[in-house]
Amino acid sequence: MIRLSLPLGDEEARSLRAGDRVLLSGVLLTGRDAAHKRLVELMERGGALPVDLSGQTIYYVGPCPAAPGRVIGSAGPTTSGRMDVYTPRLLDAGLKGMIGKGPRSRAVIDAIMRNGAVYFAAIGEAGALLARAIKEARVVAFGELGPEAIYRLRVEDFPVTVAVDANGADLYSIGRNSYRRHA
């Protein structure tokens, strides 16, 4: 198990390999397709972004409301492919990591390689468990989007697996190919 502090540095991101299990601690942002669309639209208009993406990691999640006494409700990952149309642009703007579930498009993998970034997978259907690693949560942009707003989360030992590394190794492809060889 590898322990890393957020935000990720270039060297840290490039040192990770597909299949590495990682515990993340520090600050990450959240964002789903509605927030991604707004960020890219702002970039296309030359407007200032409401958050600095440099070195940041975005968790693809729309958290549930917090129960009394809790920081956040269930916070399981969203299918990452929904963000693929926007992701290369955000990676080119400095985004260093993403957390979600499911495979990524060729364009996203190429952008990950071009920018020395990393895509982490979190376990789907484990939102309540993942929420335990979230110690603080507050909306920092697009609050009108409700759960799809951009949140700033402080996490401790947030469990993920490297799904696509900076060299383009893709755990989803590796798994499919291994299955084909043994089927």
Tell me the three-class secondary structure of 41-52, residue by residue. HHHHCCCCCCCC
Whether the full predicted model's pTM is greater than 0.85, yes or no, is yes
Nearest partner of 55 among 20, 3, 15, 5, judged by Cα: 5
Q: What is the pLDDT of residue 179?
A: 57
Q: Are 116 and 13 in contact (CB under 8 A)?
A: yes
Q: Are 92 and 117 in contact (CB under 8 A)?
A: no
Q: Are 24 and 57 in contact (CB under 8 A)?
A: yes
Cβ within 8 Å of residue 147, ≥6 positions away: 62, 63, 64, 65
Q: For residue range 119-139, list pLDDT tens digits in order.
A: 999 988 788 889 999 999 999
Q: Are 82 and 100 in contact (CB under 8 A)?
A: no
Question: What values do phi and psi take at 97, rounded to 5?
Answer: -145, 160
- pLDDT category at 91 given cuts 50, 70, 90 is very high
Residues in the chain: 183
Element (H, E) at 100: strand 97-100
Q: What is the pLDDT of residue 101?
A: 96
Q: Which two tokens stand for residue 101?
A: 């579930």
Q: For residue range 44-90, list pLDDT tens digits in order.
A: 999 999 999 999 999 999 888 888 889 999 999 999 999 999 999 99
Lowest mean pLDDT among 2-11, 53-62, 69-78, 157-166: 69-78
Q: Are 154 and 59 in contact (CB under 8 A)?
A: no
Region 109-123: mean pLDDT is 97
* Average pLDDT, rounded, for the chain: 93
